């Protein structure tokens, strides 16, 4: 009677609503976003109201035996309507508003039916966990039970079919989210079906109340977990992809930062290393340190060495980006040696012979780091004529 499954399921769903709340505040007029939040909020409220302690509290406050039943069923019907609106917005098309109004009208009729049948029926004995099977043969109360279960079964079935059908046409995080949402809706269908079977068994004189009190809550709890994860996965997938790319780029830039490490330490050009930070923040830190070092080395870059190396690699590979990366790797290596040479005078910054770009763009930095590891050929030494000296070579 503790209602632990209900409260945990409610917490999971409302946690998903809390995650979506900032987006809703920023985009209040987005009907799709409003519908998602309504689905999460109403689903959580269904579990909260269905918990036995909450049922007892509602009955006690309302001073009506089993008042919690129609209240909960009305909220479940609202959840069904929100689920249908979510499907309508997913599908899109020119008749979204008209279709949405039709579903709202249909479920408004269901709400009216629940209210009227409860008022006409008699349910004097409080039942906190097995009301559906206990009153399955009571006039009007039985109709109320079947009405809300059929409405719920229709909503979750349509949501499941639409989600799984759409999942076959998309990829990535959206596909995973739709698959989870569709599976969660199927579990919701298991909730309705278990109760309907238990009610049908009661009509035939059998007692299958365990389906009502054990199987259906478990199916509903699993469905809630899958539903909230399905809603959140498409939101988390882009961030996860961004972090994965940032980690890969961060690792690829390590050879370039290692080549500049002595300069960064000696000239105090490296920013403090971030502690507990996201992969994106660590990547920006490494890129900033590399840019600081390359800006300091600008006066030591040798345009002639750059041009010779680039021409040699381009002739060997026919790849312009690879040739440019190898040329940068050559001039950076030479500039680091020249800058560290004791007593070396800094070349004048007269603008003559400077490279086209003082600092490569972030994409070029990774290719330069690859060239430093030997991923790109660098026949620069062979292309430099014997006996030639250039500014920036040791």
3-state secondary structure the chain: CCCHHHHHHHHHHHHHHHHHHHHHHHCCCCHHHHHHHHHHHHHHHHHHHHCHHHHHHHHHHHCCCCCHHHHHHHHHHHHHHHHHHHHHHHHCCCCHHHHHHHHHHHHHHHHHHHHHHHHHCCCCCCCCCCHHHHCCCCCCHHHHHHHHHHHHHHHHHHHHHHHHHHHCCCCHHHHHHHHHHHHHHHHHHHHHHHHHHHHHHHHCCCCCHHHHHHHHHHHHHHHHHHHHHHHHHHHHHHHHHHHHHHHHHHHHCHHHHHHCHHHHHHCCCCCCCCCCCCHHHHHHHHHHHHHHHHHHCHHHCCHHHHHHHHHHHHHHHCCHHHHHHHHHHHHHHHHHHHHHCCCCCCCCCCCCCCCCCCCCCHHHHHHHHHHHCCCCCCCHHHHCCCCCCCCCCC
pLDDT of amino acid 354: 61
Question: Would you place residue 112 in the very low, low, confident or very high pLDDT band (cuts 50, 70, 90)?
Answer: very high
Mean pLDDT, the chain, whole residue set: 86
pLDDT score of 369 more than 90: yes
Tell me what percent of the residues of the chain surpass a pLDDT of 90: 49
> Mean pLDDT lowest for which of 11-25, 90-104, 148-162, 337-351?
337-351
pLDDT score of 382 more than 50: no
pLDDT of amino acid 344: 64
pLDDT score of 380 more than 50: no
pLDDT score of 180 more than 50: yes
Residue that wins the pLDDT comparison between 134 and 27: 134
> Mean pLDDT lowest for which of 143-147, 267-271, 371-375?
371-375
pLDDT of amino acid 378: 42
> What's the CA gap between 284 and 346, in Å, rounded?
29
> What's the CA gap between 115 and 132, in Å, rounded?
16
The mean pLDDT of 166-192, rounded to a whole number, is: 90
Tell me what percent of the residues of the chain surpass a pLDDT of 70: 90
Structure tokens at 242: 């961004």
> Mean pLDDT lowest for which of 30-34, 136-140, 330-334?
30-34
pLDDT score of 317 more than 50: yes
> What's the CA gap between 177 and 231, in Å, rounded?
6
pLDDT of amino acid 239: 84
Question: Would you place residue 147 in the very low, low, confident or very high pLDDT band (cuts 50, 70, 90)?
Answer: very high
Structure tokens at 18: 């809390």
> What's the CA gap between 270 and 263, in Å, rounded?
9
pLDDT score of 212 more than 70: yes
pLDDT of amino acid 341: 85
> What's the CA gap between 297 and 264, in Å, rounded?
11
pLDDT of amino acid 357: 60
pLDDT of amino acid 206: 92
> What's the CA gap between 143 and 136, in Å, rounded?
8
The mean pLDDT of 357-369, rounded to a whole number, is: 83
This prediction has a pTM of 0.69
pLDDT score of 251 more than 70: yes
pLDDT score of 377 more than 60: no
pLDDT score of 270 more than 80: yes
pLDDT of amino acid 363: 86
Structure tokens at 379: 């026949």
pLDDT score of 359 more than 50: yes
The mean pLDDT of 31-55, rounded to a whole number, is: 89
Residue 275 — φ and ψ, nearest 5°? -80, -110
Q: What is the pLDDT of residues 337-351, one digit of tens each?
A: 988 887 666 666 555
């Amino acid at each position: 009677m503790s209602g632990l499954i209900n409260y945990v399921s409610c917490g999971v769903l409302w946690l998903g609503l809390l995650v979506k709340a900032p987006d809703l505040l920023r985009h209040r007029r987005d009907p799709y976003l409003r519908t998602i939040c309504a689905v999460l909020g109403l689903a959580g409220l269904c579990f909260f109201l269905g918990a036995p302690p909450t049922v007892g509290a509602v009955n006690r406050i309302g001073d009506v035996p089993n008042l919690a039943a129609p209240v909960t069923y009305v909220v479940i019907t609202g959840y069904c309507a929100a689920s249908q609106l979510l499907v309508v917005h997913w599908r899109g098309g020119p008749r979204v508003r008209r279709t949405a109004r039709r579903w709202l009208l249909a479920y408004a009729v269901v709400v009216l039916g629940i209210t009227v049948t409860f008022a006409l029926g008699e349910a004097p004995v409080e039942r906190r966990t097995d009301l559906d099977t206990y009153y399955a043969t009571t006039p009007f109360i039985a109709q109320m039970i079947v009405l809300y279960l059929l409405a719920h079964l229709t909503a979750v079935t349509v949501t499941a079919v639409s989600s799984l059908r759409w999942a076959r046409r998309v990829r990535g995080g959206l596909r995973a989210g739709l698959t989870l949402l569709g599976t969660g809706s199927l579990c919701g269908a298991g909730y309705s079906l278990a109760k309907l079977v238990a009610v049908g068994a009661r009509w035939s004189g059998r007692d299958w109340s365990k389906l009502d009190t054990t199987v259906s809550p478990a199916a509903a709890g699993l469905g809630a977990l899958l539903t909230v994860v399905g809603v959140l996965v498409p939101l988390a997938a882009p961030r996860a992809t961004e972090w994965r790319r940032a980690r890969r780029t961060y690792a690829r830039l390590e050879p370039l930062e290692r080549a500049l490490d002595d300069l960064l330490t000696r000239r105090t050009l490296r920013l403090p290393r971030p502690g507990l930070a996201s992969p994106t923040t660590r990547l920006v830190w490494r890129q900033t340190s590399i840019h600081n070092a390359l800006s300091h080395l600008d006066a030591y870059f040798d345009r002639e060495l750059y041009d010779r190396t680039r021409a040699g690699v381009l002739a060997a590979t026919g790849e312009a980006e690879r040739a440019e990366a190898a040329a940068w790797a050559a001039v950076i290596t030479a500039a680091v040696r020249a800058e560290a040479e004791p007593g070396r005078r800094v070349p004048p910054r007269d603008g003559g012979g400077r490279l086209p770009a003082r600092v490569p763009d972030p994409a070029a930095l990774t290719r330069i780091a690859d060239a430093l590891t030997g991923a790109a050929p660098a026949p620069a030494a062979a292309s430099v004529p014997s006996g030639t000296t250039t500014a920036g070579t040791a």
